A and B are shown apart, each in its own frame.
Chain A
Amino acid sequence: QKEVEQNSGPLSVPEGAIASLNCTYSDRVSQSFFWYRQYSGKSPELIMSIYSNGDKEDGRFTAQLNKASQYVSLLIRDSQPSDSATYLCAVDTGRRALTFGSGTRLQVQP
């Protein structure tokens, strides 16, 4: 079992819809969770972090964390074509640096 799992996609949503990206992790001691966005041919950039159960909102982005279910998600409201990218979930287990999932490719159709 991979430490951090994501559906590779592509996840296709129409412009203006809500995109829901999901991530599960295997290590129960994980404490910190991050979402990075990577445009094609570019490097990853940090867009959200979440440390406590519940929701955290930042503009059109909402990160959701459920430690009991070992599940973290990213919601993108009012999706735009410029949101089309690969979204990487990253988890800190406290043992080494972040462990990244393989990413979900999001396509927002105009």
Chain B
Amino acid sequence: GAVVSQHPSRVICKSGTSVKIECRSLDFQATTMFWYRQFPKQSLMLMATSNEGSKATYEQGVEKDKFLINHASLTLSTLTVTSAHPEDSSFYICSANEGGVGIEQFFGPGTRLTVL
């Protein structure tokens, strides 16, 4: 299957700092990438849908100014958590596919963010 990578796998930062997480499709071109957040013992909650070359579509309740998404190329999307606070501590997972919804998604290994 297709491979999606995330970097970093784990990050610890102080409150108020910004953290950037990268999501890369390694062996295919990802027209669409998705960002999810998962709190302990909870399921994945979609944060936003990222389409290459256009603005991301955010789910209700997700602050677009706090969670900046950039999908500048067909193999890379970035999520920047700006002015992170302890309540932003979570497991962030990206997924990608070759085009739109309804097509099999391939997931990255996730990034564990801890904000002190």
Q: Does A pair with B?
A: no
